Chain A
């Protein structure tokens, strides 16, 4: 026992106050469900958007005075516009089927990251203001007023959901937390309580044309550099064209493809595919971004406005086909929403949609995923590969959430699983699947989707990646996997950052067209 009269020794110098570096949680027995750790993620929140960012996209600059009433009013408006929200608010029975399905819950143990509990943050307020039971007996049915404290919970926990829809696969009523997170963010934006990362990016897309803020001339430079690199590597004159009038294909790809590693390797691959198949194509400086963060904030007007750039670029360039590069949520927006939003697809009746339909070639799916295009070409025998060039790789495939659970490829349900895998098998010899409960529609989000790919959320991102890392560790240890292919820019960026925390090299992750690029014959 310490002597109370002793002169206290000065405390040892405190470790540098620099923000504690997040560490990865330990990998568990495969598939284990954590015990609840209430409040463990209560401190996880992204930066709040400032006035400039908010006002640039039409939201109030800071939390408005009458935020409570406006939030309830907005909720009422959304309940009248989105059947998903209205039905999902009413139908949940708290059965708990979803409680162990969210990667953020599995990685953090915070009970508010169980999908049903995340929904209850909003449902409790819905009950209080929009249902008889909640008005009469709030305690009994778990209704509560929207206090400032609860509003902060909304901000924190609706930014701990990557809108990956894994919970909706297991819900007996198909309740999709993504819809509720989107509504939550839409309400927060409408009262001036927005997220910096996502809203800043939306501003950039409108101002400059892409999420990374890469202006046209820089883009042109980058593409010229790529052409030189590929020429040096392969001797072939593969082109990476920009704003070419009358090209057959307009390729819309996430802007990370233009310079980030490993993304650019896939862009190189797309170019080689077009070159080898002899298809003329172009990128567009106006539509130099496939991503659409309007979806992440649940704002239909932003979603539509960002999508309109693609239609305008397609009309201006006079292309016959629109093809989308490797990006998960972008493919969801393109495949599931573009036709609804701006008439890219069949059946649009407004003048621009009609003009576009006249222009686009009806023999092809519009829009088309780059994997659909490549797979079609492979099946027609128009591409040749030296598969052994990928022999140094033992490959597994990570299904990206938005591709897996919110879109399709090809003609049959599940084509989004089969086609990328078929491409990998066509270009490489060593392919391995991860554990069944972690792939296809049951895939785990990378942990960085839905507008959470920002540094201040690093702790959340590392924890959210845990379920995928557990499954990956299994195939790395048992089958020697050294390459995890994926078709999403966010997955690639997130894994590059997070893999080292789990003791892997960041080069473990890459694109499907990176593999295509390695093996394709260009002569």
Chain B
């Protein structure tokens, strides 16, 4: 089992990194030929950075759209961030000060994740409009995340796992050594689902996270009169008077 998980995580990590890189490369390659920021928009690149930061941290547009949806989504993502930070302790030795300090917050994060996900899933069923647009994969994605969070919390509160052994396993992987992993049910479920998430990520709507930064309606400054903006394929039309 140790070797199976080691192989799985190496494979999942490669797929995740390569898959995301390939998608970002693709997005970077495709030009945005026209200025299409959704206005009112900032007129400078500093202003654009601020707009993107507000979107990233506060989900500004979503806040304007729907308070319930915003609350569920924001709570889930904040929870996810806290849980992610907490998990850094499995990959760092010695553990960074901030990560050590925020460990209890990580547990709160797990609970927030579950609450947010439950709200999002409930909404998919309860609101007719959202039910209409939901695909099977939308439901499965929520189920996957919910199971990851639940199995993680189960290990914290119900079935304790030898976390030090888990940490040795992952630090070992980082040094290309395969060390023993505790053969606990919840841990096996938890790690398998995380690997599945890593494998799915680059090919799914989970790519929405970096998508924001490539979205021309959000990342372009509103300065079309002052600065000429042209894609290479469009500039080739310039040689003719038309």
Stretch at the interface among B149-157, B169-177, B183-191, B200-208: B200-208
Which residues from chain A contact B35 at a C-beta distance below 8 Å? 336-337, 340
Which residues from chain A contact B138 at a C-beta distance below 8 Å? 93-94
Residue from A96, A99, A340 within 8 A of B34 (CB atoms): A340
- A133 and B212 within 8 A (CB): no
- A441 and B133 within 8 A (CB): no
- A346 and B132 within 8 A (CB): no
Stretch at the interface among B79-87, B91-99, B109-117, B220-228: B220-228
B32 at the interface (CB under 8 A from A): yes
Cβ-closest chain B residue relative to A365: B225
- Near A by CB (< 8 A), chain B positions 98-127 give 123, 127
- B217 and A99 within 8 A (CB): no
Q: Mask for B4-44, Cβ within 8 A of A = 1, else 0?
A: 00000000000000000001001100111111101111110
Q: With A170-B65, A300-B33, A301-B237 as given contacts, are A346 and B43 in contact (CB-CB < 8 Å)?
A: no
Cβ-closest chain B residue relative to A308: B242
> Separation in Å of the A494 CB from the closest CB of chain B?
22
How long is the Cα–Cα vector from A52 to B123 in the complex, in angstroms? 50
Cβ-closest chain A residue relative to B205: A93
Most chain B beta-carbon contacts within 10 A, residue among A97, A131, A133, A139? A97
- A94 and B211 within 8 A (CB): no
How long is the Cα–Cα vector from A84 to B211 in the complex, in angstroms? 10
How long is the Cα–Cα vector from A9 to B26 in the complex, in angstroms? 71
Stretch at the interface among A60-68, A146-154, A227-235, A408-416: A408-416
A95 at the interface (CB under 8 A from B): yes
How long is the Cα–Cα vector from A132 to B238 in the complex, in angstroms? 37
How long is the Cα–Cα vector from A117 to B27 in the complex, in angstroms? 23
How long is the Cα–Cα vector from A182 to B227 in the complex, in angstroms? 25
Most chain B beta-carbon contacts within 10 A, residue among A116, A172, A346? A172
A375 at the interface (CB under 8 A from B): no
Q: With A81-B233, A141-B137 as given contacts, are A86 and B30 in contact (CB-CB < 8 Å)?
A: yes
> Separation in Å of the B220 CB from the closest CB of chain A?
10
B234 at the interface (CB under 8 A from A): yes
How long is the Cα–Cα vector from A86 to B218 in the complex, in angstroms? 15
A128 at the interface (CB under 8 A from B): no
Which residues from chain A contact B2 at a C-beta distance below 8 Å? none
- A350 and B238 within 8 A (CB): yes
- A173 and B215 within 8 A (CB): yes
Which residues from chain B contact A176 at a C-beta distance below 8 Å? 36, 38, 217
Q: With A83-B27, A96-B123, A114-B133 as given contacts, are A340 and B234 in contact (CB-CB < 8 Å)?
A: yes
Which residues from chain B contact A142 at a C-beta distance below 8 Å? 135-137
Cβ-closest chain B residue relative to A117: B133
Residue from A90, A304, A404 within 8 A of B207 (CB atoms): A90
- Near B by CB (< 8 A), chain A positions 88-109 give 88, 90-101
Which residues from chain A contact B216 at a C-beta distance below 8 Å? 83-84, 87, 174
Which residues from chain A contact B242 at a C-beta distance below 8 Å? 304-305, 308, 342
B62 at the interface (CB under 8 A from A): yes
Q: With A140-B140, A174-B215 as given contacts, are A83 and B30 in contact (CB-CB < 8 Å)?
A: yes
Interface size counted on chain A using CB atoms at 8 A: 85
- A97 and B65 within 8 A (CB): yes
- A348 and B218 within 8 A (CB): no
- B227 and A346 within 8 A (CB): yes
How long is the Cα–Cα vector from A98 to B203 in the complex, in angstroms? 23
- A343 and B228 within 8 A (CB): yes
- Near B by CB (< 8 A), chain A positions 9-43 give 33, 35-36
> Separation in Å of the A355 CB from the closest CB of chain B?
11
Interface size counted on chain B using CB atoms at 8 A: 66
How long is the Cα–Cα vector from A241 to B38 in the complex, in angstroms? 36
- A416 and B217 within 8 A (CB): no
Cβ-closest chain B residue relative to A303: B34
- Near B by CB (< 8 A), chain A positions 331-387 give 335-337, 339-343, 345-350, 352-353, 365-367
- A168 and B38 within 8 A (CB): yes
How long is the Cα–Cα vector from A179 to B214 in the complex, in angstroms? 15
- B228 and A346 within 8 A (CB): yes
Most chain B beta-carbon contacts within 10 A, residue among A95, A116, A348? A95
A475 at the interface (CB under 8 A from B): no
B229 at the interface (CB under 8 A from A): yes
Which residues from chain A contact B41 at a C-beta distance below 8 Å? 408, 413
A80 at the interface (CB under 8 A from B): yes
Cβ-closest chain B residue relative to A36: B128
Which residues from chain B contact A169 at a C-beta distance below 8 Å? 38, 61, 64
> Separation in Å of the B59 CB from the closest CB of chain A?
6
- A179 and B73 within 8 A (CB): no
A439 at the interface (CB under 8 A from B): no
- A83 and B38 within 8 A (CB): no
Which residues from chain A contact B241 at a C-beta distance below 8 Å? 308, 312, 352
A79 at the interface (CB under 8 A from B): yes
Which residues from chain A contact B205 at a C-beta distance below 8 Å? 90-94
A419 at the interface (CB under 8 A from B): no
How long is the Cα–Cα vector from A94 to B120 in the complex, in angstroms? 11
Residue from B32, B34, B225 within 8 A of A367 (CB atoms): B225
How long is the Cα–Cα vector from A139 to B43 in the complex, in angstroms? 43
B45 at the interface (CB under 8 A from A): no
B194 at the interface (CB under 8 A from A): no
Q: With A93-B205, A111-B132, A346-B228 as given contacts, are A83 and B32 in contact (CB-CB < 8 Å)?
A: yes
A120 at the interface (CB under 8 A from B): yes
Residue from A36, A79, A92, A174 within 8 A of B218 (CB atoms): A174
- B38 and A405 within 8 A (CB): yes
Which residues from chain A contact B222 at a C-beta distance below 8 Å? 408, 413
Cβ-closest chain B residue relative to A178: B36
> Separation in Å of the B68 CB from the closest CB of chain A?
10
- A173 and B130 within 8 A (CB): no
Which residues from chain B contact A47 at a C-beta distance below 8 Å? none
The 8 nearest A-B residue pairs measured at CB = A91-B211, A347-B228, A142-B135, A170-B65, A174-B217, A413-B40, A97-B65, A174-B218
Of the A-B pairs whose beta carbons lie under 8 Å apart in the complex, a sample of 21, sorted by A's number, is A35-B128, A83-B30, A83-B31, A87-B214, A91-B215, A92-B208, A93-B138, A95-B73, A98-B65, A99-B129, A114-B133, A133-B203, A141-B135, A141-B136, A168-B217, A171-B61, A172-B73, A174-B215, A339-B225, A340-B33, A441-B40
Spell out A's residues near B (CB within 8 Å).
33, 35-36, 79-84, 86-88, 90-101, 111, 114, 116-117, 120, 131-133, 137, 139-142, 165, 168-176, 179, 300-301, 304-305, 308, 312, 335-337, 339-343, 345-350, 352-353, 365-367, 404-408, 412-414, 416-417, 441-442
Q: Give 12 new A-B contacts, CB below 8 A, not counting A83-B216, A413-B42.
A: A84-B217, A132-B203, A141-B135, A142-B135, A173-B208, A173-B212, A174-B55, A300-B234, A336-B34, A352-B241, A407-B39, A413-B40
Spell out B's residues near A (CB within 8 Å).
23, 26-27, 30-36, 38-43, 55, 59, 61-62, 64-66, 69, 73, 123, 127-130, 132-138, 140, 203-205, 207-208, 211-212, 214-218, 222, 224-231, 233-234, 237-239, 241-242
